[in-house]
Structure 1
Amino acid sequence: MAQFNLKEAGELLAQELEKRAYGDAPENLYAPLRYILSLGGKRLRPALTLLGCYLFDDDYKKAVEPAIGVEVFHNFTLMHDDIMDDAPLRRGQMTVHEKWNPNIAILSGDVMFVKAYDYIMQVEDNVLRSAISLFNKCATEVCEGQQFDMDFEERAIVSEEEYIEMIRLKTAVLIGFALRLGALIGGASEEQSKVVEEFGVNVGLGFQLKDDILDVYADQDKFGKQVGGDIISNKKTLMLIKALKQAKGADKAELLKWLEVKEFDKVEKVKAVTAIYDRLDIKEMATSKSNEYFDKGFTALQKLDVPDNRKQLLKEFGIYLQNRDH
């Protein structure tokens, strides 16, 4: 069988997603679902389910249906997150609640969650219970992470440790689950599937920390979301947490001013806070922390008992996330 290719796996999944009807009526329930799934994206999480399967079994296509479930669930979380954040753009296009309205977006997201179960259940009976149990744990943790994220909006001080735990729950556990689900479908032992998950959670942490950096420093045309959105909304990212800790004198006063002001020019705020980050070397500090988690993920691979060429695919995936610019 030909060598597994993550990009080709993503393209395969995109084609499979297009074939799915999800439901017909009422149109305003299913059209938003089809819309958000049509916006593209890298399809990394479902592709990781296929890769997790391929690590242990050549026939990775038997993981396609559960992988679609992973992608549907991921987009459900994006749809609801966009409502909570009042985000205008998703992948460069109008968010669902902007294109329709928040009530439609909530209900369409709800049906996506149900559809995710439909697809994830398409596994062999011997791993069905584990698959659903792990999915339930993952989905619960994602909700916990989102609630922590919202709670942090009401707090003046959030510690670095609290922030890392929040992004572990909100982002990293889904990457770990996607890989572990595929590994179980591929016949991995419980122990080996946990190793794959450990890799996924750590690179997921590195991925989110890198995403925080890109939110400030990415090229708008490549990023697909509003650059500086975290600054505009006073989001308690690691970058802001470190800046509040490091800033002194005029920088501290200016940063606190921008955090407290209610009416402001968005472009001016983003420019001013970014300048403070630059003066304090915040980007470098956040990059170092991000790389720390990528390194933990790569170290976990030493415990993985699969052929080196397959293990290398996971490492290359981690390196790709580490070096991405959008």
Structure 2
Amino acid sequence: MKPMFTIEDLQQLVVDRLIQEARRIGQTQPVNLYQPIEYTLNMGGKRLRPAMLLMACDLFGGDVDQALNAAVAVEVFHNFTLLHDDIMDLADIRRNQPAVHKKYNENVAILSGDAMSIMAYQYLLKTESPAIQKITQLFSKTAMEVCEGQQYDMDFENQTSVSINDYLEMIRLKTAVLIAGSFKMGAQLAMAPDADADRIYGFGISLGLAFQLQDDLLDVFAEQVKFGKKTGGDILANKKTFLLLKALELANPEQKVQLNHWLNRKDFNPQEKIAAVKKIYTELNLQEISRQKSDEYYQSALKELQAVEAEINRKEPLILLAKTIMKREH
């Protein structure tokens, strides 16, 4: 079996291809549709999801070059969701730059996002593989689940009773399925056995849940410069994150009154609200509780990966990736 790639090798492959594609897209007419897409693809990012697809393909001895179009499809789809998410979440900054709807306008961001969702399928269908039908079906299922997760996320903002299990199901759909789907598509392109493709999907689900719990924690406690967007956005939007739901569960009567005050207040100073809620989270030791929950999913992910029928040394890049995700600051 040929030598393995590092995750940095695979991220660079994706970056190089995206630079090439962004340049071509930016020269396409009408410019008001395509230039925001060029802007989005050039904003940077970790390119984790496409790298995950290529890692899984490499794990099972597949042709990474053959899988590159599918990897680009995943990244274009992911970035399409960010365009629309930023509008829905009223987020002005993405990767330390103006969000597309702020640099251009909301209508442009909506339409360019729509175009990106179609473009993702165009890249996917360029993939030459006997598994093309399998990966297209999985991609479509995943895309629909991401939309379901986003709807639940919005629904929860106006619901008073949301359980932690409700929240975990929402982030499974909104975040984890795209990570899991990326891994499984890579395995399918490498013609891995169905059982192993399912195991690598399970690895991705658990890793995705750990990833989102980390993201929620960073939204409150990270340094903004490292995080790449304004911190405290979840607090301002009354997002029913693990932190908020656990705080409502553990709060003493006085803390619960304070939390409900900020959840129900329509007119407030944003920094004052962030500071007040963050103070309660700190008093309740929620940083540590959230990290423990995230670690549970991390351990579950490693068990799923352990069950995959592949040599241990070939799994090392995925183990390293999982460790990196657990230690990230942005």
TM-score with structure 2 setting the length: 0.96
Where structure 1 has 5 or more consecutive residues not aligned to the other structure, the ranges are none
CA RMSD of aligned residues (A): 1.2
Is 1:202–1:296's contact at 8 Å kept on the other side of the alignment? yes
Identity of matched residues, %: 46
Is 2:66–2:128's contact at 8 Å kept on the other side of the alignment? no
Q: Does 1:143 align with 2:180?
A: no
Is 2:36–2:100's contact at 8 Å kept on the other side of the alignment? yes
Q: CA deviation at 1:155?
A: 0.5
Aligned to 2:110: 106
Between the aligned partners of 1:193 and 1:295, the Cα distance in structure 2 is 19
Aligned to 1:204: 208
Is 2:4–2:59's contact at 8 Å kept on the other side of the alignment? no
Q: CA deviation at 1:17?
A: 0.5
Letter in 2 for 1:191: A
Q: Does 1:94 align with 2:95?
A: no
Aligned to 2:8: 7
Q: Does 1:286 align with 2:286?
A: no
Q: Does 1:324 align with 2:328?
A: yes
Between the aligned partners of 1:2 and 1:28, the Cα distance in structure 2 is 44
Counterpart pick for 1:69 among 44, 68, 73: 73
Is 1:123–1:185's contact at 8 Å kept on the other side of the alignment? no
Q: CA deviation at 1:124?
A: 3.2
Counterpart pick for 1:24 among 21, 28, 32: 28
Between the aligned partners of 1:59 and 1:137, the Cα distance in structure 2 is 24
Moved over 3 A (4+): none
Between the aligned partners of 2:200 and 2:63, the Cα distance in structure 1 is 18
Letter in 2 for 1:98: K
Between the aligned partners of 1:193 and 1:122, the Cα distance in structure 2 is 22
Aligned to 2:304: 300
Letter in 1 for 2:161: I
Aligned to 1:156: 160
Q: CA deviation at 1:61?
A: 2.0
Q: CA deviation at 1:120?
A: 1.3
Please give the secondary structure, in 2, of the residue aligned with 1:126: coil
Letter in 1 for 2:17: E
Between the aligned partners of 1:48 and 1:4, the Cα distance in structure 2 is 12
Is 1:232–1:266's contact at 8 Å kept on the other side of the alignment? yes
Q: CA deviation at 1:58?
A: 5.6
TM-score with structure 1 setting the length: 0.97
Between the aligned partners of 2:221 and 2:264, the Cα distance in structure 1 is 23
